[in-house]
Structure 1
Amino acid sequence: MTQAREPLGIMDGNPPSCDFSTKTKRGVYLSKGLAFVILVIFALALVATAFIVYNFAACPATDQLANVTKYELTHCDQSKLLVIPLSTENSKSVIPLETTTVLTTTEEIEAVVTDVRLPTNVKPDRYYLKLTPYIYEGNFTFDGELSVVVTVKNDTDQVTFHGVELTFHSINLFEKADGRSVRVVRRTEDVPRQFHVLHLNETLKAGRQYVLNITYTGILNDNLHGFYRSSYEAKNVTRWIAVTQFQATDARRAFPCWDEPALKARFTISIARPSNMSSVSNMNNVGREPHKTLPNYTWDHYAESLPMSTYLVAFAVTDFGSMSDKNFTVWARKEALSSAAYALDIGPKILSFLEEYYKIKFPLPKIDMIALPDFKAGAMENWGLLTFREIAMLYDNNIYPTTAKARVAAVVAHEIAHQWFGNLVTPAWWSDIWLNEGFASYVEYVAVDAVEKTWESMEVFVLNEVQSVFKLDALTSSHQISVEVGNPEEIGAIFDKISYGKGSAILRMMNHFLTNEVFNSGITDYLNAKKFGDAEQRDLWSALTNAAHQKGALDADVAVIMDSWTLQTGFPVLTITRDYDSGLVSLRQERFVLINNTVDNQTAPVWWIPVSYTTASEKDFKSTRPRVWLRGERAIEVKNISAKPDEWLIANIQQTGFYRINYDSRNWRMLVEVLNNPTRFQEIHPINRAQIVDDAMNLALAGRLDYRTALDITSYLTHERSYVPWKAGLVALGYIDMMLSKGAYYLEYKRYVLRLLDGAVKDLGWEVSVNESVVRAQQRADLLSTACHLEHVDCMEHAVRMYTNWMLTPNPDAYNDIHADVRSTVYCVGIQAGGAREWRFAWERFRVASAPAERELLLTVLGCTRAPYLLYRYLELSLRNDSGIRKQDTVRVFSAVASSAIGQPIAFNFVRANWQRIKDYVGSVSTLNTIVKVVTRRLNQPHEFDELERFINESCTELGRPVLQVLESTVANVKWMESNYQTIVDWLLETDQDSKTW
């Protein structure tokens, strides 16, 4: 799964007193007598309903069970039919409502939630699933008929499975061999664990197979999980569709199942859909037939799948259009279908590359990719049916920025990489989800680099996956890569930068110390050994160790090395101290933490660290294999490093190791000198220039390096023109920007950074050339955005002029001559410099825009206004179903508002004042965590921390580890202000005396 990548965004004041509700308050008043009569009628109705359910147990609007005398299970080729005859006692196995026990009391919950794993007595082998979604009937429900063939592993008189928000109509259990009925005497619903337990009147025998038949009704919810509904507008008509998102634990919302990743089974799926719509699922369609009881519905029957986990099951019922290239098909809204052409072009190329990369052919007959109007994640790797947010799959070079093309390629590559790593071989439990997400996050760059060779993808990897995760992993409240998780909220919380970014970074590190040949060979062996099954990280380590030993590439066990990275929280900083007289070099490791608490050196973690390096005379930035290892040692001394006293030394070549580097002061001074030399700085590889900037600024942030040294390094950016070092510099300086933005000396900071930017901004300019490279387009977007943010006069004037001209266009929705690559800057500045008129203009453009990229951009820039009342109104609109803001974009709105010094207090106050309303609306713990995170990033005063802590203690205790990370980050901000604010102000004042260009 690809995470949804949300933007960032700021103010103070109180919520407006106006009521944005569209509901009219009304009341109905009853006399006591009338109320009593109604109560009696209601009670009689309940009794009658229970009687009907008990006697008939019918599921409305579905193909009935042929008088409950047989149940048909149709295989993928439609030629095999498994018929289970029922005895005359079959009706007794239908569970009436009054025999269902629901565990909901406090005592029962406390007694139950000790182990969320299913019992291992029964294992599913095959699911036969028939679903009928009611999309246009008005009630947004679906009927389901399920048969599951299970094998009993241990004698048991209970069958336990998952199910959430499902209403059962009939439950029958039979022995497969002879069709003998097994009586179900009671069903217990364990709400906290989302279990349904069938209590039987006899013991099921180990080794035997049984068939469980269930008919039920579910909800097509609007919370973007399970089997859910989505809509879009076409020619002023609302069109509804029904789609799925099951990872991690939401298949149980669509059908009763054993919803754990290791419990793989084969699936045969049939979907009944309106005859004017189409359906798609994991496998190829093998037959259609009219629905027997619904005249305007058609059954689509799909081939039996390979063994797969429940979270990878997928289906969609839409009225979309499609385009195909052999076994590849893309689906999208008909008016957006042409924008899926690039995904259809690059998808087969990536698939072909990955078949060669893994040395294993893709095992399914087809791949469908579908762009959905509403989708919580960025995309999802369902086997054979990849689902995407529209913005992650659609691209049109006429209306989308060039950078959107890179995004589509990366997300498509990520999801196709999962078809092997995650789908073919699946983690045995969610604790090793990093095997899925870390590997796909790494291979997406490898694949894109292979098919789009000019994009410098492996250099960008360092920015997006290595440096971006360091700050989170520097918190004491971070977590191990491989971490024990239980309930669905804990599982959802580990789909974070640690699993994705750190997971991919340590795989890249391993690739470099093993070599491509050994790494790829071990991966192929692992996949072949575990295909169609499940695995743990030790299985991967074993395969890689065998490959390394066969090739003589390593004299250690991969598990010993890599467990130090996956089973420990955090990462090391390697301090290199040189004795310039003797040439002796000392290497010492310790955990890098943001708040530099004193740690007992005896209990502090240590890592196996591969150390590559080069010197001023060597300048070898190609050899990334380690020349030295710290084998779990806290410190070592090295004598054979041939660096002269006047030569700099740089370690961790191309930042292939997941750790930071600190040097002694003399080596830092030599690096400052070479970087600030306009004719010599390019002697250092661009990735290592970016690494030096990022390491220095973050070492200073954590109190391990003097800020003056770190800022002296950033001054070299005046003559830097490469994207990767510049981006690292902007991110590092961005923290100072955020901390100083409410202070008295922000002007000096702005003048300093604008001096750094001047040359690069002039070189890039506003004019976008034909066939602009992705790297140059990204650099222009970042640098122009920063320049205008810092109120560069020419940048502001140019942007305001372009926005005003667009507003004056007679038909702004049909004609917009602002190039897509610079629209984000132009729109933001135009709204920021304007008032209600400019904001309303952008809002109207959002309301009518159909291109996902334009809609996403407008949602982001609407937070650029400096008018508090508009920001409050924008937050209000994000919680209204009728506003046009999709629920998937709620976080984007909060992030946009909170991204400035003006909007952040407004967003934080709004969240505190409307917390219950937000919880009810978004319906997702992960979304709530993200909202809290984005609205608190700028807090850096003791009283702000006190307010945050009080809010979390009173309202957010159920959110778990992510809010602890928010608290720790805020403490770090407060301590940073106390320790570094004056130092930085003094340095800026000294620097400002030298030049006052702005």
Structure 2
Amino acid sequence: MANGFYVSKFVAFVGFFFAVAAAATIITLAVVYSNEKSKNVQNEGIASNAITPTGTTAKPMTKTPASNEIWDKYRLPRNLVPEHYNVDLRPILTKNEKGLYIFRGVSKVYFTCMIATQYVIIHSNKLNYTKDLLLTDANNNVIPIKKHFFAEKTNYLILELNEQLQAQKNYILSTEYDGELADDLEGFYRSEYVEDGETKIIATTQMQALDARKAFPCFDEPALKATFNITIRHKPDYVALSNMNPIDVSNETWNAETWQVTKFAQSVKMSTYLVAFIVSQFSPAGNETVKANIWGRKKAIVDEKQGDYALDKTGLILEFLQDYYNYSYPLPKSDQVALPDFSAGAMENWGLVTYRDTALLYDPNESSIGNKERVVTVIAHELAHQWFGNLVTIRWWNDLWLNEGFASYVEYLGADYAEDTWNIKDLAVLNDIHRVMAVDALASSHPLTSKEEDVNTPEDISALFDSITYSKGASVIRMLSSFLTEELFKTGLQAYLKKHAFDNTVYYELWESLQEAYDNEANRVYLPATIGDIMDTWVLQMGFPVVTINTTDGSLTQKHFLLDPTSVVNHTSPYNYTWFVPISFVTNSSVEGHVWLTQETGMNSSFHLTGDNDWLLANINVTGYYRVNYDDRNWDRLLQQLENNHTVIPVINRAQIIDDSFNLARAQIISTTRALQTTRFLSKDKYMKQQVEPLFWHFNTTTNNFKDRPETLTEQYNEINAVSMACSYGIAECEQLVTELFQEWKNTKINKIHPNLRSTIYCNAIAQGGEDEWNFLWEQFNTTTNAQEADKLRAALACSKEPFILNRLLEYSLDPNKIRRQDTLSTITNVANNVVGQNLAWDFIRANWKTLVDNIGGGMSFGNVISGVSRRFNTDFDLQQLQDFKKFNTDNNIGFGTATLTLEQAIEKTRANIVWVKQNKDAVQNWFEGAMGHRDENTHI
């Protein structure tokens, strides 16, 4: 155990060392957007006065699955197509006699029968129908219902009729029902917060991907678009919001109380997963010029003005996007709402975007520069969806990458427009490309898209919300825009949106619009094939290539890059793992160019260098989604250039050289010592002289002992890195800084620590301190009203070196009265990130796995807890435990929910780590001893 601990510490040191190296070259560590999705499945929620519908019982009846029955298939039959919904909802925000919060619904769905059928099959989940179902035709004639029943597995309500519905005829299904406003963060759900000592209840929604069916019976697939009339009945001291503006507000008496009835304008044609409605006591910060509002807790919005930054940037981003898309914002308003309980980072509901409040609110007195960056980028991401995703929508979830990858790319463009001094577009390399390559280099990765028929179950769909979808999607679209040119890309994109507005598409229809724009461009760049043929090599096969350039003869080769070259790839490739690779390059003699590698091997005279000191650098600014390797001579010359004058190499490529070389070494393509050599130039860099300590003193001097802030975004990030790394490696002055700042806060109850440095100061204070310090921070966590500050405090609570304290925090993670459900997974992962807490978190996960699967296992990012706890695994014992964990939960039918693929990836990465440590431990130890001039006794290799 001790040996595994010390080796893990060494591996962690290498990883952190080179993260700082990238930051020191001004490619900073980016904010990681959390997508934890909590789930509390509850089967109750039936109103006490529920009426049993004719021919059934009040509770859903599950029909025994039969493979030949249409209701046992996860995709709806295409007999019926919805046209319009009337949805009338009354959320009751007080507990009933059973202690439950419920809502009452009245719904009418208008649909057309396309193919004659004797069944009406519609999605419905956890809705209790309180009156007889009513089916009528367009002339209001009643269509007799023989019986109705439920298919629980597929979430269907099935009406069996006495006679067939006629093709091309219109019908109406009318229903009345109850549902529970549970705190499961799905469908129509309940959120709570405390303001001025009073607990306040919110009724809000999260429909993506498959949960509109928990709010009203519907044809819950993205291609089945319709219009919506929403009516919300609520107490007069609440406000109701939906996708459209209210058109009528009146009063009614219900249960001897006055209620308000808010009716909203009919929506545009849209998918069910974008429907949203909220009932709250929130307040707005508004801007009539751009028809935008930021909604949130009254204290945050009105008293502390935390919505002002988001409001200002919303106007700028909408301005940018309307120009970028050449298409006016499709709706009459844009409401954005900060929720205290929310599963994802944000959700692009059309006209009513919802956010975790940490992703929308900004308080200059409490929020860090990282918080500020997150707010502007998340807003840009969600507003990008208002056109790409909402106006034009994917036909089925297998193409989710197109929605999310595109928004993840455009968020940098929108944020760059809103904060034009930040150079934020450069962060795509670390936020997305480097991040996702770590996953996509595994044999257990997957292609961006797949066949529709291969994505069926809720687990299949939820599993797609991963880094491949978001970050690889963004990376390949960024690459496409780069080799086409941004202007040509925009032209094709604008044509695509205009052609398919209010409709659904498959991914290749974007290629078609881009190809048409390319064909019509007189001064177009050279392409070796059609855009579709080029991009399909990146979309239809997993992974990416390593391109090896030999400057001694000008030859090029490409090969599927795998972290473990001995692993067996899960997916076959239609292109035998070759890609159309766009290679940008520059030489020391200022020769620049672009070439294409279209086969496994190629030759290009531009890559043949004959001069004694000539060198070549490829993949300029990392616009291509691939890694680059060189012959030894070119490596030597590049590294010599970095040591002589590193500024000659573009700043992003300095980070690329380090990242590529260490991953090439992990894949046994180059030696580990060669990779280590790429870091020598850092001694010449502006922010790092030889080790972390000079970097710490640099910022100490330039910021007046950390009292002032650097001017630029990247310098502020580098300051944070300097303090964090200095404290992590025991620099006494850093530890003293932490102690003094924390104790001053503790003694005076006045927090003078700058928000940028709080995460680092808090964490190190807890690591250095004991239970007294931890209890103080726990008290602050429970009393702060700022969600971003709460996140910093909660993360720091996991930094303790005391096992009993960490175990306490792990237990708290499952108690929603102590840790919000949305934060369960990240709290466990925070403990796992602590070297002392890793084994504790792993034991906790194994002991509570069934609870986690039952409550959260369907969440979009459930796998984060597995990847978080296993990231340092590198021994045979670790591997055996993972395999035993897999076998036990498989044999006992507990399963892994949406973490199934992540578990396979954890096993694969552990195997690769074992091999790497065994092969490189001694070589790396010797290299560091030589480079540093002494043995670091703390590594204990």
Please report the TM-score for the alignment, with normalisation by the length of structure 2: 0.89
Matched, 1:886 2:915: no
SS in 2 for 1:864: coil
* Letter aligned with residue 574 of structure 1: V
Aligned counterpart in structure 2 of residue 709 of structure 1, from 656, 671, 674: 674
Contact map agreement 1:425 1:532 (CA 8 A) in 2? yes
SS in 1 for 2:201: strand
Aligned counterpart in structure 2 of residue 392 of structure 1, from 340, 359, 362: 359
The change in CA–CA distance for 1:638 and 1:872 in structure 2 (over 3 A counts) is same
SS in 2 for 1:322: strand
The count of corresponding residues between Structure 1 and Structure 2 is 872
The change in CA–CA distance for 1:806 and 1:530 in structure 2 (over 3 A counts) is same
Counterparts of 1:551-562 in structure 2, within 5 Å, are 551=521, 552-555=524-527, 556-562=529-535
The change in CA–CA distance for 1:517 and 1:691 in structure 2 (over 3 A counts) is same
Contact map agreement 1:718 1:758 (CA 8 A) in 2? no
SS in 1 for 2:497: helix
2:474 maps to which residue? Answer: 504
Aligned counterpart in structure 2 of residue 191 of structure 1, from 146, 152, 155: 152
Matched, 1:802 2:741: yes
The change in CA–CA distance for 1:720 and 1:844 in structure 2 (over 3 A counts) is same
1:897 maps to which residue? Answer: 831
Contact map agreement 1:6 1:891 (CA 8 A) in 2? no
CA drift at 1:284: 0.3
Worse-matched range after superposition: 226-235 or 477-486: 477-486
Contact map agreement 2:334 2:352 (CA 8 A) in 1? yes
CA drift at 1:516: 1.4
SS in 1 for 2:877: helix
CA drift at 1:98: 8.5
Q: Deviations over 1:597-623 (max 9, x none)?
A: 278999841111011100011075xxx
Worse-matched range after superposition: 227-236 or 187-196: 187-196
1:125 maps to which residue? Answer: 83
CA drift at 1:754: 3.4
Contact map agreement 1:548 1:554 (CA 8 A) in 2? no
SS in 1 for 2:254: coil
Measured in 1, the distance between the counterparts of 2:591 and 2:426 equals: 18
Measured in 1, the distance between the counterparts of 2:844 and 2:207 equals: 31
Q: Deviations over 1:228-250 (max 9, x none)?
A: 10100112211111100011111
CA drift at 1:320: 0.8
Counterparts of 1:866-881 in structure 2, within 5 Å, are 866-881=801-816
Aligned counterpart in structure 2 of residue 202 of structure 1, from 163, 183, 194: 163
Aligned counterpart in structure 1 of residue 714 of structure 2, from 750, 756, 775: 775
The change in CA–CA distance for 1:487 and 1:391 in structure 2 (over 3 A counts) is same
Matched, 1:973 2:934: no
1:269 maps to which residue? Answer: 230
Q: Deviations over 1:210-244 (max 9, x none)?
A: 01101111111111111110100112211111100
Matched, 1:339 2:299: no
* Letter aligned with residue 233 of structure 2: A
SS in 1 for 2:755: coil
**Identity among equivalent pairs (%):** 37
**Structure having the higher Rg:** 1
CA drift at 1:642: 6.5
Measured in 1, the distance between the counterparts of 2:295 and 2:525 equals: 46
Measured in 1, the distance between the counterparts of 2:323 and 2:574 equals: 47
Measured in 2, the distance between the counterparts of 1:768 and 1:283 equals: 47
SS in 2 for 1:178: coil
CA drift at 1:924: 3.8
1:310 maps to which residue? Answer: 272
Worse-matched range after superposition: 795-804 or 341-350: 795-804
Aligned counterpart in structure 2 of residue 436 of structure 1, from 398, 403, 421: 403
Measured in 2, the distance between the counterparts of 1:940 and 1:819 equals: 37
Contact map agreement 2:58 2:129 (CA 8 A) in 1? no
Matched, 1:525 2:491: no
Worse-matched range after superposition: 466-475 or 777-786: 777-786
Unaligned segments of structure 2, at least 5 residues: 1-30, 37-45
CA drift at 1:203: 0.8
CA drift at 1:936: 1.5
Aligned counterpart in structure 1 of residue 692 of structure 2, from 754, 758, 769: 754
CA RMSD of aligned residues (A): 2.5
Contact map agreement 1:715 1:756 (CA 8 A) in 2? no
Aligned counterpart in structure 2 of residue 991 of structure 1, from 917, 931, 941: 931
2:557 maps to which residue? Answer: 588
* Letter aligned with residue 613 of structure 1: F
CA drift at 1:772: 3.6
CA drift at 1:647: 1.1
* Letter aligned with residue 329 of structure 1: N
* Letter aligned with residue 595 of structure 2: V
Aligned counterpart in structure 2 of residue 640 of structure 1, from 600, 603, 606: 606
Worse-matched range after superposition: 491-500 or 921-930: 921-930
Contact map agreement 1:133 1:272 (CA 8 A) in 2? yes
Matched, 1:572 2:545: yes
Matched, 1:930 2:864: yes
CA drift at 1:176: 3.5
Contact map agreement 2:696 2:722 (CA 8 A) in 1? no
Measured in 2, the distance between the counterparts of 1:752 and 1:893 equals: 35
Contact map agreement 1:493 1:962 (CA 8 A) in 2? no
Aligned counterpart in structure 1 of residue 62 of structure 2, from 102, 108, 128: 102
CA drift at 1:127: 0.4
SS in 2 for 1:124: strand
Contact map agreement 2:136 2:142 (CA 8 A) in 1? yes
Please report the TM-score for the alignment, with normalisation by the length of structure 1: 0.84
Measured in 1, the distance between the counterparts of 2:928 and 2:143 equals: 80
1:488 maps to which residue? Answer: 458
Q: Deviations over 1:840-888 (max 9, x none)?
A: 11111111011111100000011111000000001111111222x2111
Q: Hey, which bits of structure 1, 4+ residues long, moved more than 6 A?
A: 109-114, 598-603, 994-998
Measured in 2, the distance between the counterparts of 1:391 and 1:241 equals: 17
CA drift at 1:782: 2.1
Contact map agreement 1:113 1:192 (CA 8 A) in 2? no
CA drift at 1:100: 7.0
SS in 1 for 2:109: strand
Contact map agreement 1:312 1:383 (CA 8 A) in 2? yes
Matched, 1:609 2:581: yes
SS in 2 for 1:661: strand
CA drift at 1:648: 1.1
Counterparts of 1:124-523 in structure 2, within 5 Å, are 124-138=82-96, 139-294=100-255, 295-326=257-288, 327-337=291-301, 338-483=305-450, 484-523=454-493
Contact map agreement 1:718 1:755 (CA 8 A) in 2? no
The change in CA–CA distance for 1:603 and 1:286 in structure 2 (over 3 A counts) is closer
Contact map agreement 1:331 1:369 (CA 8 A) in 2? yes
CA drift at 1:911: 1.1
* Letter aligned with residue 94 of structure 2: Y
Contact map agreement 1:268 1:304 (CA 8 A) in 2? yes
SS in 1 for 2:373: helix
* Letter aligned with residue 973 of structure 1: N
SS in 2 for 1:865: coil
2:26 maps to which residue? Answer: none
Q: Deviations over 1:126-156 (max 9, x none)?
A: 0000000111244211111000110111111
